[in-house]
Amino acid sequence: MVRDKFKYWVEKSKGELENSLITTEFIKYKTLDESLIPDPSTGIIHESKNCFGQVIVWESGQMEYEVLNIRTEEMILWRYFEKVPDEPDFDNILAEYFFVLQSGLKP
């Protein structure tokens, strides 16, 4: 359920992110049959001028994101959420992520 909302949010946000010079790409998993995975996930990779970022949302409602500095390869942000709300506001949840992704600065 949360994964479907995340996928919808990603598709809806792609154009706005491209205008901010952030590319978005879904992570392609090798396992095509999700029924074989106990807690399947949806992941995306973002790239800006300064950083790489990754966001993963699991069917169980868990979420994790990280941002790496392109030049130094240092992880400058990592967050984990045990349970994302059933009606998530991804713009709000990921505000810090996108600030760091664009600026390249630690929070």
Residue 39 CA to its chain's centroid (Å): 17
Instruction: Estimate to the nearest angstrom the gap between the alpha carbon of 15 and the chain centroid.
Output: 15
N residues, the chain: 107
For residue 12, pLDDT over 90 is answered with yes
Buried b (16+ CB within 10 A) or exposed e, 68-101: bbeeeeeebbeeeeeebeeebebeebbeebbebb
Q: Render pLDDT for 68-99 as a digit per residue (tens, 0 to 9).
A: 999 999 999 999 999 999 999 999 999 999 99
The tally of domains found in the chain comes to 1
Domain span at residue 62 reads 2-29+38-103
Indicate the pTM of the whole model.
Answer: 0.91
d(CA 1, CA 88): 11
- Amino acid 70 reads I
pLDDT > 90? residue 64: yes
Instruction: Please determine, for residue 29, whether its predicted confidence score (pLDDT) is greater than 90.
Output: no
Task: Please name which of 65, 62, 59 lies closest in space to residue 81, comparing C-alpha atoms.
Answer: 62
